[in-house]
A = this chain, B = another copy of it.
């Protein structure tokens, strides 16, 4: 069936393009001299940002943010402060960190593949198609299976298990 072949091809292209986008991001932030994870964190810190929020936005465990915050502090890019709720620690950029935030954003924008090669109309069309795919796919794809469940099937420990 030609439709299936085209659907597979689209899946391949989307995955490849996302890898390209990640590589662009990595190249852009390498240019500025910041590891990817720190750059992502710097971009999402806005004012006094609770560490918990950072974990949510990065999609990682809160314990992992401890190490990120340590790195940012030791580089002088951000500092911890106590929140109104005294359990909470917020992250805020230093002056150096804020300047770097701007540099990172500019480097990423300059490198991005989406800004240069498409006309405004093409970008709009692409966005509509992508949103259409994303809006439905959660339901259409896995009616009896949440994504969180996926992969709980003893995926496979290690090649050296044997």
Contact = CB atoms under 8 A, between A and B. Distances in A.
Interface of A: 3-4, 6-11, 13-27, 30-31, 33, 35-38, 63-64, 66-68, 70-71, 108-109, 111-118, 120, 122-127, 129-134, 136-138, 140-142, 145, 147, 149-151, 153-156, 158-162
Contacts of A13: 127, 130-131, 134
A70 B159 CA distance: 8
A111 B67 contact: no
- Can you list the 10 inter-chain pairs with the closest CB atoms, starting with the nearest? A67-B159, A18-B18, A113-B137, A7-B114, A7-B115, A13-B130, A10-B114, A26-B150, A35-B156, A35-B155
B127 A125 contact: no
A10 to B, nearest CB: 4
A117 B133 contact: yes
A77 to B, nearest CB: 13
Contacts of A138: 20
A67 B145 contact: no
A23 to B, nearest CB: 5
Contacts of A158: 67
A26 B151 contact: yes
